[in-house]
Amino acid sequence: MPHRGCVMTALALDESPPLHAPLRFFATAPIWGAAAGVLTSLRAERVTASRWTPEAFAVVHVLALGFMLQVMAGALLQLLPVAVGSAVPRVRLLARVSHAGLNAGTLLLVAAFLGAGPGWFAAAGAVLLATLAAYVGAVGLCLARARAIGPTLPALRLAVLALGVTVALGVTLALGLGLGWPVPIVELVHLHAAWGVLGFGLCLVLGVAYLVVPMFQLTPAYPVPVARALPLTVFAGLGLWSVGVPLGVEPVAFAGAAVLAAATVAFVAQTLLLLASSKRRIRDTTAWYWRLGLCCLLLAAASASWLHVGCPPQLRAPLEYATGVFVLAGAFPALICGMLYKIVPFLVWLHLSRRGPGAPLMHQVIGEPGPRVQLVTHAAAVIALAAGAASPLLAAFGGALFAASKVLLGLNLVVAISVYRSDHRPAGPAAPARC
Amino acid sequence: MMPPDPMRRTLAALTSLPDGEELTLLLYREPFPLYALLDREGYVHATELERDGTYRIRIRLGR
């Protein structure tokens, strides 16, 4: 029988992982982001020449593994208990192992692309396979056990399934290059990229957006039929595209690309509508990160569609480069920053409030000016990088701006961590205690 | 409302919930942290998801 009148004023932290579990990923990601900018700046001629140069592959994987997957992997460990009511098993151990393995594997892979030798591909493949198989297994088990009724759970399940497919394809490529296996590289690269960006990245953004856009931007919820249909539509499009492209069946590939573009446009339109109806009275920088990321997604959908419909051969390489910029430098980093600037202050507040009254409020943890300066720098970087399709000099400038933007992100996160560390009240049970 | 206001308001409302009465929440997400507290304190809850994305959560004292 509950004790009435003095029931519960505590916040449930029992299911939450310790703060260091997600923060170690969040704190490392800006370093890789800055490295991607510096590498682009130093090798702009080669990065912009074609998506198939080793330098372009290196930059793509610094961004995709070092920055994007880094943040997404950390965020999932933190979000799953809140989002779907299921905790990741052995989360402390998993956080340590997957963080170390992801960073070691990324270093090995980037070194391999930059000419360290075929053995480095094999080593990278082995490290990333072991790390990400453990991660996908643990998170997949957590999602399989979850009983949430909303649209976030199926979107996250599809995202993690797609991550498994992406890893399998990527590791096959790495081991193939490292050990000299006869693998169809071009076809596998197409599939690997599509499953990583759309299957994992986009489906994860969908599932997380269903949770964090209403929660942090104070908007209405995503309509359930739309929210349920979008990840399924992405998977349907991806399925068609995955059959059509490797087999060279152009109408099937075109149908897949059209379905994927339609799903992307629908998600962007729905989210922009929701943001327009936000009940927030105060302008919030994170909403602008969302808008920037969504606009980049639209541009990526438009340029990818053009690649499938009548793109002149001489424009193919610059358009592929621009699509990559919109997706990997524009959309995902902006959406990730928009989420980080809410999630990290929320976590700091949550863990400090456990020590009793006196915790700083969420908006006091990082403040507004830092994220705003980073937003402007990031937007300028995306414009300059996209213009780099016409001039490597602009790409080099964009790379420098991108690096600066990620340094600013890192500094803003350091501010949040220092707020947490400067609170010397002893950590205790959820306060105040129950009667 | 931003987190944690929905949970705080819910907990405050539960302290004054008369016996036999039910508290209904309308939220834009399924409140798993709240579920954990309710389960621990002996409350029972039932959740429905409406087409517009609203979660309707009914809470009452368990017997």
Q: How many domains does chain B have?
A: 1
Cβ–Cβ under 8 Å, residues A61 and A106: yes
Phi, psi of B48 (to 5 degrees): -125, 145
Contact A2 B49 (CB under 8 A): no
In A, minimum Cα distance to B48 occurs at: A149
Which CATH number fits the domain that encloses residue B12?
3.30.110
What residues of chain B lie within 8 A of the CB of A273, using their CB? none
**What is the least distance, in Å, from the CA of B24 to any CA of chain A?**
17
- What ipTM does this complex have? 0.90
Spatial distance between the Cα atoms of A102 and A105, rounded to a whole number of angstroms: 5
> What pLDDT, on a 0 to 100 scale, did the predictor assign at position A4?
46
Confidence of residue A13 (pLDDT cuts 50, 70, 90): low
Helices (H), A112-197: 118-145, 152-179, 185-194
In tens, the pLDDT along A106-120 reads 999 999 999 988 999
Tell me if A337 sits within 8 A of A75, measured CB to CB.
Answer: no
pLDDT tens digits, A66-108: 999 999 999 999 999 989 999 999 999 999 999 999 999 999 9
* Minimum-distance CB partner of A5 among B15, B30, B37: B15
The residue of chain A with its CA nearest to that of B7 is: A11
The predicted model gives A28-34 an average pLDDT of: 98
For chains A and B, count residue pairs whose Cβ atoms are closer than 8 Å: 90
- And the tokens for A418? 């220092």
Q: Residue A142: name the closest of A189, A98, A66, A86 by CA.
A: A86
Residue A427: what pLDDT?
64
Provide Rg for chain A, Cα atoms.
Answer: 21
What's the whole-number mean pLDDT along residues A384-407?
98
The pLDDT of residue A424 is 75
Which chain B residue shows the shortest CA-CA distance from A430? Answer: B37
Domain hosting residue B38, numbered range: 5-61
What average pLDDT does range A168-188 have in this prediction?
96
User: Of A190, A188, A162, A163, nearest to A176 (Cα)?
Assistant: A188
The contacts of residue A292 (CB under 8 Å, 6+ apart) are A330, A334, A375, A378, A379, A382
Look at residue A435 in the predicted model and tell me its pLDDT: 29
Class of domain A20-418: mainly alpha
pLDDT in tens, B27-63: 998 999 889 889 888 899 999 999 999 999 999 988 6
* Residue A219: closest CA among A166, A170, A290: A290
> Region A31-35: what's the mean pLDDT?
98
Looking up tokens 């302008």 gives A283
Contact B27, B7 (CB under 8 A): no
Q: Please say whether the beta carbons of A28 and A70 come within 8 A.
A: yes
CA distance B26 to chain A (A): 11
Q: Residue A210: list chain B partners with CB under 8 A.
A: 53
**pLDDT attached to residue A433:** 34
pLDDT tens digit sequence for B3-21:
778 888 898 899 888 888 9
pLDDT at B63: 66
Q: Which residue of A has its CA nearest to B13?
A: A5
For range A213-223, the mean pLDDT: 93
What gap in Å lies between CA A251 and CA A375, rounded to an integer? Answer: 40
Q: Write down how long chain B is.
A: 63
Q: In this structure, are residues A410 and A31 in contact, taking their beta carbons and an 8 Å threshold?
A: yes
| Residue A261 to residue A246: CA distance in whole angstroms | 19
Q: Min CA distance, B14 vs chain A (Å)?
A: 8
Shortest distance, CA A247 to any CA of chain B (angstroms):
40
Nearest alpha carbon to residue A209 among A268, A162, A139: A268
Contacting B with CB below 8 Å, chain A residues are 1-12, 14-15, 81-85, 148-150, 210-211, 214-216, 218, 220-225, 227, 346, 350, 362, 434
Delimit the domains of chain A by residue range. Answer: 20-418
CB within 8 A of A157, min separation 6: which ones?
Answer: A140, A143, A144
Measured distance CA(B48)–CA(B58) in Å, rounded: 9
* Residue A429 CA: distances (Å) to CA of A352, A403, B40: 11, 41, 15
DSSP assignment of A236-268 equals HHHHHHHHHHHHT-HHHHHHHHHHHHHHHHHHH
Which residues in chain A have Cβ-Cβ distances shorter than 8 Å to B47? 149
Q: How far is CA A191 from the centre of its chain?
A: 19
Number of C-beta neighbours around residue A147 at 10 A: 10
Residue B2 has pLDDT above 80, yes or no: no
Cis peptide before B4 (omega within 30 of 0): yes
Q: Give the angle subtended at the CA of A125 by the CAs of A124 and A129, to the nearest 5°.
A: 115
A interface test, pick of B1, B9, B15 with most A CB neighbours within 10 Å: B15
> CA angle at residue A234 from A228 to A238, to 5 degrees?
150
Q: Which residues pair with B48 in a beta bridge?
A: B56
Q: Say how far residue A334 (Cα) sits from the centre of its chain.
A: 9
Nearby residues of A194 by Cβ (< 8 Å), 6 or more positions away: A238, A241, A242, A245
Contacts of A363 (CB under 8 A, 6+ apart): A345
- Which sign does the torsion angle of CA A267, A268, A273, A278 carry? positive
Minimum Cα–Cα distance from A207: chain B residue: B29
Inspect the interface and report whether the beta carbons of B51 and A224 lie closer than 8 Å.
yes
Q: Which helix (H) or strand (E) holds B27?
A: strand B23-27
